[in-house]
Amino acid sequence: MIPRYTRERMAAIWAPENRFRIWFEIEAHACDALAELGVIPQAAARAVWEKGNKPYTAERIARIDAIEAEVRHDVIAFLTELSEHVGEPARFIHQGMTSSDVLDTCLAVQLTQAADLLLEDLEGLLAALKARAQEHKMTVCMGRSHGIHAEPVTLGLKFAGFHAEFHRARARLQAARQDIATCAISGAVGTFANIDPRVEAHVAHQLGLSVEPLSTQVIPRDRHAAFFSTLAVIASSVERAAVEVRHLQRTEVGEAEEAFAKGQKGSSAMPHKRNPVLSENLTGLARMVRAYALPALENVALWHERDISHSAVERMIGPDATVTLDFALVRLTSVMANLVVHPKAIERNIAMTGGLMFSQRVLLALTQAGVSREDAYRLVQRHAMAVWDEGGTLLERLKADPEVTAKVPPAALEPLFDLSVHTRHVDTIFQRVFAGA
């Protein structure tokens, strides 16, 4: 990913220093297990740790790259450079293993590290959403369907809805993390022909992974497909929240907007502009994370026990998807935590349609009074359309219609236009969303 959308902690997971460190630990832990089983000398396993356990500096990485330029094989280049430090005992490194044992197990470690950071991001976002939901629990605002005024909701319910969604996202990511955290040290085609399964179990334990039940030469890619698909779903939730902010910030709505910092400028041409640029950016980033899911799904079908059509894909989508989503979650947290709410605009919009939002209440009252649903709908819609076209209020028009007041007297119509009816179950909804959260 480009630096503009990259946070340092996530970038470090995909840096060569971390990757080669994980490769080293896989090989060194495997040597420990092989020594314990009597396959290689104990002294050789000790030498790997004592002589090879050094930071992967820029010089070491450059040396590995130089070797790879000649041998054109990244794992062989890594092992060759490691042997230059370990010396003669290096002949016992990588006994019975294949490159994918190192590459796939390393990728599992990196993806679990990335998942842990993303889970931290989600915790921060959930905290921000909960705080804003409580703050605006009873801030009544217009609910909209198809972009048109429907019935009142509260701003707190909007935040609570996002909280519920990202709570599900956290559970999905936790499951995806567990699913991806598997180790394969099973040899050339996964049969353990030249290495004992106990080596795999030892390496898995040391790295905090579980053992892959059956690896061919690779860990099955359905695991990776599920992981990246989970990131894509989370990104879609990010976009849903961002789109809501974008709509609320529209001039014609104006109910909430992104914080606009002192000295910030919204347009090179129009000094008056305050644009929802962060939320628009989140929409774009979400598109990218979703785009990385498709190649992960296509990686599932490899030839026989293994080919490398997945390799180049994962070298790209592993860093890019996790880096992008990490940035997006942190940005969304900031947007939500600092979102500026405009109560006067909310009140203006509630009053804009002259009480049309209570049409269902009147419809139900008429049916309760003995009017058929079809006739009740016709009566209410007739007056509602007049309010749309000519103005006035729905209550005034209903009171002036003898056909309506014959069934529901004017005094009985007025309580139907009480906003509080739309908030009477907010506490129940909040209890559902935040119980134990």
Q: CA–CA separation, 437 vs 435, rounded Å?
A: 5
CB 253: neighbour CB atoms within 10 A?
20
Is 425 an annotated catalytic residue? Answer: no
Residues contacting 79, CB < 8 A, separation 6+: 27, 90, 93, 94
Contact criterion met (CB below 8 Å) for 158 and 137: no
Residues contacting 216, CB < 8 A, separation 6+: 189, 190, 304, 305, 306
Q: Are strands 340-341 and 140-145 parallel, antiparallel or unpaired?
A: unpaired
Q: CA–CA separation, 381 vs 184, rounded Å?
A: 66
Which of the residues 145, 146, 304, 420 is marked catalytic?
A: 146
Amino acid symbol at 147: G
Tell me which H or E stretch contains 152. Answer: strand 148-154
Tell me which H or E stretch contains 148. Answer: strand 148-154
Two tokens at 350? Answer: 């509630």
Q: CA–CA separation, 301 vs 152, rounded Å?
A: 49
Largest CA distance in the chain: 103
Which of the residues 267, 309, 372, 425 is marked catalytic?
A: 267
Contact criterion met (CB below 8 Å) for 286 and 332: no
Is 83 an annotated catalytic residue? Answer: no
Which of the residues are catalytic? Answer: 146, 267
